[in-house]
Structure 1
Amino acid sequence: MNHCGKEVVVEEKEIDKISNLPKDIFNVIFKDLSIRELTKMCVLSKKWKHFSAMHPNLILDEKFMEEIEYDFYNIVDNIILQHVGFIVKFVLNLSTIFCDHRNLDLWLLYVTKKDVKELTLNNYNHNPYTLPFDIFSCSTLKHLDVINCIVNLPYPTTLFPNLHELKLEFITFNPTIPNHVLNIPLLSTLSFTFCDGLHFLNIFAPKIEFLTIHESHEIRADFFDNFSNIRVLCMVIFLEESGNYEQGRFITWSRLLCLCPNLTRLALSNACIRLLGAEIISKSFPSKLYHLEHVKLRVEIGDLNQVSSVFSLIRSSPSLRSLEIDVFNTMSTRSTNEVIHYLANPNCIDQQFEKLDYVKLKEFEGTPCELIFLKLMLVNSPSLSKLIVGPSNELDAAKVSSFREQLMMFLKASTQVELIVAPYGQNVYRMSARRWIQTFNSMSL
């Protein structure tokens, strides 16, 4: 039938231009189709009937699992075990469906033998699955994303010669020997989220640029020794877990900044700042961070060690452009007075923050420490264009209005600065730790 509604007779020998397209063109056309959609497409042409079995991307995600729930094993078996050719990308989301580990072992063995380059396994909501060592002996992997598994490392060294991105969540490492070496020479992105046993690992990854450590504990002081190329670092440790670190077990500010001189973005939780500050530091750190431009911190504003660490970091970062702080008020009156005395000292700041353009303070409660901090930012930042204050939901409208008026009266080094105080009841800045990390990591370099 043509566009005019008339029947068109096609000769049997007439060339089917679509069916005769090269295989790589088919891959581009069909790459975003689900497995089910691809199977339906393949019935339209005899030449396409085997294409679903040769497609390089097997995306068995949550939506796919919902569609095949009642015949899960047979369908997945057919898709994986009857596949022909290489597998470029394999995604298996088991978070909504139970899978016998013996079947999973077989599927992963088959996929790794197909020279897979990208592998994602989501085992959330179930008992941890012990990863077969075939994963760690797959030399073609470029991207590996695994959730809720146990990793038993039987050999002293594991080599991923081509891996560029490694994301691990709810992973427990159980190597047979301590100081297991993970040799990943091309790795650029590494993320640990709720992982245990990191102290067993010695990671060699000289090209890492992006490192995220979220609620993954037992990090040794020498963990960062092979990460000199890091540009973006995000570390979140809960306060209650920080007490598990003995003196000297966590890295110090001086050592961290010496080992990671190329940082452009840095995000730290208050527990990390407390652990990093377990040393006597001067007004500035021994090493300058000439490339650091963006800093995001969660700070106990009444903790003198944390506040002084923040100012030492600012002083040591001549290229700093943006500073975001989530305020955390838990300290006693005595410790708060120590911070006020420190901030009020004329020698607290003896330099201008020449490039600082953007400052945001969240969960603002209007304490003297916070007000003095904001005053120092305004009077010492000649390039500041925007200062945003997100009040705590504990403050009523009258207090928010009063604090806004106080801020307007502070001396300002910049004539162009815009002061923004979020209206009462509209604190849009509150977010979870995970969302905090995602927001930070989504920023472009």
Structure 2
Amino acid sequence: MNVKNIYFINLCLQLLINICLHVRIMELDHGAHKAARLALQDVISSMPDKVITNILDRLPLQDAVRTDVLSKNWRFKWTMLSQLVFDDNFFEYLSKTEGKDNHLRIISRFLLHLKGAITKFVLYIEKMRKFDDDDINHWILFLSKNGIEDLTFKLLDKTPFKLSTHLFSCLQLKHLKIYNCIFNPPPGFHGFPNLLSLELYPNAEKSSDVGEFAIKCHLLEILKLRYILKAGRVKLVEIAKLKNLKILALSLYDLDNKMITSSDTIFELLDSLPKLQELYLNFQVCKLTESGAKKNFSTAFPCLKALKLSMYLDNAIKLSCAFELIRSFPNMETLEITTYAGWYDSLAPPICSPEVEYNTIGLLQLQSVFFTYSSGSENEVCLIKYLLACSPFLKKIVMRPHSQLEPGKKLTFAMKLLELHRASPVAEIKLF
């Protein structure tokens, strides 16, 4: 959708809201304003159905339905909705107006009233709700017959649900996000031919080979797989076949039946993904060896703009791996490092020395750095020293210390950061 269309739709949305207010006011006066009210109703009711649908799709679901009070002409306009988002805000609204036990019946009735294709369906539940597998799979069957293109099931407060095979008949899917499920494609399934993005967080014990499924979706541009990469589940050689990938997120538990021992394995994968722009890697349970950390890589990846790492920095081996990854992305603009999985010794020995000549390492294009759950360790100071010295375009480094970091250590950490040389004259360090 181009900028003009977006502007027009937003303008129509604002017009609809304003008209709702005007009509409410004018309904109080059946005399002098009657003609003006009818004229306004005629203007908005005569808009093309596609425009009305676009307006309704951008309203919260409960508000879209409530537009039926505008006039007789608008009484069933909401049945043209093509995008449905059932989230906790929607369920809270239902609980206040319809009671707590009617959610399933209302959603089923709602779906049956819709007239056109349903291109987007989101079921996002954070709080405990009464849903079972049969309910969800019944809706999947309905959606598979109604042109669904964007499908999200995110059920965080439920035991893993077993996906119906009806999902795999939704061949028009372009975007698929499924959390907390048992994922087993039927034998002979050849993939979703139009799928552009896949975010999959299935149950590791009961789901089948996710990697084999992913490579059958040849147009994939976004692939996010987490908490599932056990032996045999996903192989790097399978991911490497997805040449169109622009965003990749992996939890590196155990690939190809062997533990990740160095960044070498990652570079072998990235070398086959020329279009990659964003990379998210979770090293929390990887075992890095001394020999792996000391390897040198000459490969550079000019397209990659954003890197996110989740890893401990509790020893020189892991810090060296982080250095090697950062150095290999000279055009990277955003870096995020998270160490949320545990608390480690802030006195771990650093690998940097004051004599390191950072100007011989090469310059980075970094603009923003975010560091979450920092421990104030010397290794972290070492890494930040490198980033400040080699990033002439850096605007900010945001540090969010671990909750267990004592105020005294936090102050010492802040003073060390303030003493570091900055290649960028505008670089700021924000310590929260």
Separation in 2, partners of 1:99, 1:388: 41
Structure 1 residue 380: Cα displacement:
5.3
Name the structure 2 match of 1:130.
162
Structure 1 residue 110: Cα displacement:
1.9
Instruction: Please tell me whether residue 268 in structure 1 is matched to residue 271 in structure 2.
Output: no
Counterpart selection for 2:138 from 78, 82, 106:
106
Counterpart selection for 1:41 from 46, 60, 67:
67
Counterpart selection for 1:116 from 148, 154, 160:
148
Counterpart selection for 1:353 from 344, 350, 363:
363
Q: Which amino acid aligns with 2:130?
A: F
1:22-61 CA distance string (max 9 Å, x none): 3223213332345554444336544444434443234433
On the 8 A contact 2:358/2:386 being kept in 1, the answer is no
Q: Secondary structure at the match of 2:271?
A: helix
Instruction: Please tell me whether residue 22 in structure 1 is matched to residue 53 in structure 2.
Output: no
Structure 1 residue 113: Cα displacement:
0.6
Structure 1 residue 155: Cα displacement:
1.6
Q: Which amino acid aligns with 1:291?
A: C
Structure 1 residue 62: Cα displacement:
2.8
Name the structure 2 match of 1:209.
none
Separation in 2, partners of 1:197, 1:395: 33
Q: Which amino acid aligns with 2:161?
A: Y
Cα distance 1:156–1:256, how it changes in 2: closer, same or farther (>3 A)? same
Separation in 2, partners of 1:93, 1:354: 39
Separation in 2, partners of 1:324, 1:125: 28
Separation in 2, partners of 1:79, 1:280: 56
Q: Which amino acid aligns with 1:71?
A: N
CA RMSD of aligned residues (A): 4.4
Separation in 1, partners of 2:28, 2:81: 36
Cα distance 1:419–1:197, how it changes in 2: closer, same or farther (>3 A)? closer
Q: Which amino acid aligns with 2:108?
A: D
On the 8 A contact 1:266/1:295 being kept in 2, the answer is yes
Write out aligned runs for 1:40-119 (5 A): 40-42=66-68, 45-66=71-92, 67=94, 68=98, 69-93=100-124, 96-119=128-151
Name the structure 2 match of 1:192.
225
Counterpart selection for 1:416 from 421, 425, 428:
425
Write 1 or 2 for the structure with the bigger share of helix: 2
Q: Secondary structure at the match of 2:240?
A: coil
Cα distance 1:417–1:324, how it changes in 2: closer, same or farther (>3 A)? farther
1:370-411 CA distance string (max 9 Å, x none): 45555555555566665666666666666555555555555x
Q: Which amino acid aligns with 2:142?
A: Y
Cα distance 1:31–1:194, how it changes in 2: closer, same or farther (>3 A)? same
On the 8 A contact 1:158/1:181 being kept in 2, the answer is no
Q: Secondary structure at the match of 2:201?
A: strand
On the 8 A contact 1:326/1:362 being kept in 2, the answer is yes
Structure 1 residue 96: Cα displacement:
3.8
Cα distance 1:323–1:283, how it changes in 2: closer, same or farther (>3 A)? farther
Separation in 1, partners of 2:214, 2:407: 56
Cα distance 1:280–1:404, how it changes in 2: closer, same or farther (>3 A)? closer
Separation in 2, partners of 1:400, 1:18: 59
Structure 1 residue 116: Cα displacement:
1.9
Structure 1 residue 252: Cα displacement:
1.0
Name the structure 2 match of 1:305.
317
Cα distance 1:282–1:113, how it changes in 2: closer, same or farther (>3 A)? same
Q: Which amino acid aligns with 1:222?
A: V
Name the structure 1 match of 2:187.
155
Across the two proteins, how many residue pairs are aligned to each other?
Answer: 394
Name the structure 2 match of 1:441.
none
Cα distance 1:193–1:73, how it changes in 2: closer, same or farther (>3 A)? same
Write 1 or 2 for the structure with the bigger share of strand: 1
Cα distance 1:405–1:75, how it changes in 2: closer, same or farther (>3 A)? closer
Name the structure 2 match of 1:425.
none
On the 8 A contact 1:230/1:260 being kept in 2, the answer is yes
Structure 1 residue 195: Cα displacement:
4.1
On the 8 A contact 2:314/2:344 being kept in 1, the answer is yes
Structure 2 unaligned regions, length at least 5: 1-24
Q: Secondary structure at the match of 2:101?
A: helix
Cα distance 1:347–1:312, how it changes in 2: closer, same or farther (>3 A)? farther
Cα distance 1:93–1:38, how it changes in 2: closer, same or farther (>3 A)? same
Structure 1 unaligned regions, length at least 5: 201-218, 423-427, 429-445
On the 8 A contact 1:253/1:276 being kept in 2, the answer is no
Structure 1 residue 300: Cα displacement:
3.6
Q: Which moved more, 1:118-127 or 1:371-380?
A: 371-380
Q: Which amino acid aligns with 1:312?
A: E
Write out aligned runs for 1:134-145 (5 A): 134-145=166-177
Q: Which amino acid aligns with 1:259?
A: S
Instruction: Please tell me whether residue 7 in structure 1 is matched to residue 31 in structure 2.
Output: yes
Identity of aligned residues (%): 25
Separation in 2, partners of 1:357, 1:33: 35
Structure 1 residue 93: Cα displacement:
4.4
Name the structure 2 match of 1:31.
57
Structure 1 residue 6: Cα displacement:
5.9
Cα distance 1:347–1:256, how it changes in 2: closer, same or farther (>3 A)? farther
On the 8 A contact 1:257/1:287 being kept in 2, the answer is no
On the 8 A contact 2:221/2:244 being kept in 1, the answer is no
Separation in 1, partners of 2:210, 2:372: 45
On the 8 A contact 1:156/1:180 being kept in 2, the answer is no
